[in-house]
C-alpha cells in the first residue's frame, strides 16, 4: 500500500475527465446560480443525481457511465459545492430542497427519477415528501434512517467555526495526488478511478458549507410516510438490531423497499457498485 501511495505522489494521476459528450451549464433559481452536468439522452427517462456533502456532481461520473444510453442524466452541484454559488448566512434548513425545486422548474423536467446520496438523499426525501406529485421514482443511497446518537446521550463536542473552516481550506489546498493517495488509503474498496473523480471535489468545496448541519431537517420517520412515489433505499450493510431498525423505518414508505448492500459502508455505490447497480436497474425496470 505504501509503495502505491508513493507512486501516486511521484507520478500524479491525470485529472479524471467526464465524457466529451457531457455538457454543463447553470440555472438561476432560489437566489443562486446552480451548476449542473448533463449526460444527454433525449427521449429517455430523466434521472437527477444529488451528491453527498463535500462531493459534487462529477462524483457520480463512474455510476453515470454505467447508465449511459438508458437515461437522460443531470448531475447537480449543491450550493457551496462544485461550481454552484456558496451558501448564504441565514440559509433555511430546506435551502437545498428548494434549490432542487428551482432546478427542475427552470429545466422544465417532468416526472424525473430522483436519486441522492447522504446529504443528497436527505434533500431528495424531503423534496419528495413536500412535492409528492413531482418524482416518478425515488432512490436514496444510505440515508440517515436512525438518529445520529442514542436518545439521552450528550452530543459530541463540536469543533469551533474557525476550526471547521480551517480544515476545509486546508483540504482545498491539497494537491490532487495527495487527495487521491489519501482516498485510496482510507477507502481501498473504491479504486483509483473513483478516488480520481472524488479528489477534485474537495478542492472546489466552499469552506462556508462546513458551518452548515443537518439540524432542522425532518427525521426520515416523518418524511417517508409522505413519499408516494415508488422508492428504493440502498442502505449500507448492517446486522442485528441496526438492520432491524432500518427495515422498520423503511416500512413506513407507502410504496418502497430497502436493500442492504453486502459489504458496503456509507458510500454504497462506491463500495459495491455491481450490487447497487443491479438493485437500481431491477427497481426501475419494475416501474409501470
Neighbour-count burial for 254-270, b at 16+ CB within 10 Å, e otherwise:
eebebbbbeebeebbbb
Sign of CA dihedral 57, 212, 146, 97: negative
pLDDT at 288: 83
pTM flag (> 0.75): yes
Using one digit for the tens of pLDDT, what is the confidence trace for 33-80? 999 999 999 999 999 999 999 999 999 999 999 998 999 999 999 999
CA angle 200, 51, 233 (to 5 degrees): 145
8 vs 56, higher pLDDT: 56
Q: Looking at per-residue confidence, does 129 or 162 come out higher? A: 129
C-alpha distance from residue 75 to each of 12, 34, 57, 84, 261 (Å) = 26, 11, 5, 12, 23
| Architecture of the structural domain at 2-148+158-285 | 3-Layer(aba) Sandwich (3.40)
- pLDDT over threshold 60, residue 15: no
Instruction: Name which of 146-150, 165-169, 210-214, 230-234 the model is least confident about.
Output: 210-214
Per-residue pLDDT at 46: 98
Q: How far is CA 117 from CA 4, 68, 158, 192, 219, in A?
A: 29, 19, 24, 20, 16
Q: How are strands ordered across the β-sheet holding 137-141? A: 23-29, 32-39, 72-76, 46-50, 113-117, 137-141, 231-236, 256-261
What single-letter DSSP state applies at residue 134? Answer: S
pLDDT one-digit tens code per residue, 86-106: 998 889 999 999 999 999 999
Average pLDDT score over residue span 190-205? 96
Q: What is the pLDDT of residues 243-267, one digit of tens each?
A: 999 999 999 999 999 999 999 999 9
Q: Where are the domains of the chain?
A: 2-148+158-285
Name 196's Cβ contacts closer than 8 Å, sequence gap at least 6.
Answer: 13, 14, 15, 16, 176, 180
Q: Report the alpha-carbon distance of residue 27 to residue 38 in Å, rounded.
A: 13
pLDDT of residue 258: 98
Mean pLDDT over residues 144-163, rounded? 72
Distance from first CA to last CA of the chain, Å, rounded? 47
Instruction: Give the pLDDT mean for 144-155.
Output: 67
Answer whether residue 85 shows pLDDT above 70.
yes
Query: 149 falls in which pLDDT band (50, 70, 90)?
Result: low
Phi, psi of 42 (to 5 degrees): -55, 140
Contact 30, 121 (CB under 8 A): no
Amino acid at each position: 500500500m505504501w509503495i502505491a501511495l508513493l507512486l501516486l505522489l511521484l507520478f500524479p494521476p491525470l485529472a479524471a475527465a467526464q465524457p466529451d459528450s457531457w455538457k454543463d451549464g447553470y440555472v438561476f433559481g432560489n437566489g443562486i446560480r446552480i451548476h449542473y452536468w448533463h449526460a444527454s439522452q433525449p427521449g429517455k427517462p430523466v434521472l437527477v443525481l444529488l451528491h453527498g456533502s463535500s462531493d459534487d456532481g462529477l462524483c457520480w461520473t463512474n455510476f453515470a457511465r454505467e447508465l449511459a444510453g438508458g437515461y437522460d442524466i443531470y448531475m447537480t452541484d449543491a450550493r457551496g459545492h462544485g461550481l454552484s454559488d456558496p451558501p448564504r448566512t441565514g440559509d433555511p434548513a430546506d435551502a437545498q430542497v428548494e434549490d432542487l425545486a428551482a432546478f427542475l422548474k427552470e429545466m422544465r423536467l417532468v416526472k424525473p427519477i430522483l436519486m441522492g446520496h447522504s446529504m443528497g438523499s436527505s434533500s431528495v426525501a424531503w423534496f419528495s415528501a413536500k412535492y409528492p406529485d413531482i418524482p416518478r421514482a425515488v432512490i436514496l443511497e444510505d440515508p440517515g434512517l436512525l438518529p445520529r446518537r442514542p436518545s439521552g446521550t450528550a452530543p459530541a463536542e463540536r469543533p469551533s467555526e474557525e476550526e471547521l473552516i480551517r480544515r476545509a481550506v486546508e483540504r482545498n489546498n491539497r494537491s490532487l495526488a495527495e487527495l487521491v493517495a489519501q482516498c485510496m488509503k482510507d477507502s481501498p474498496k473504491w479504486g483509483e478511478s473513483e478516488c480520481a473523480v472524488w479528489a477534485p471535489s474537495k478542492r472546489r468545496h466552499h469552506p462556508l458549507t462546513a458551518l452548515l448541519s443537518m439540524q432542522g431537517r425532518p427525521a426520515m420517520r416523518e418524511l417517508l410516510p409522505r413519499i408516494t412515489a415508488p422508492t428504493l433505499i440502498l442502505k449500507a450493510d448492517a446486522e442485528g438490531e441496526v438492520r432491524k431498525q432500518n427495515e422498520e423505518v423503511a416500512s413506513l414508505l407507502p410504496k418502497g423497499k430497502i436493500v442492504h448492500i453486502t459489504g458496503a459502508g456509507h458510500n454504497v455505490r462506491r463500495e459495491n457498485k455491481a450490487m447497487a447497480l443491479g438493485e437500481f436497474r431491477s427497481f426501475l425496470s419494475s416501474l409501470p
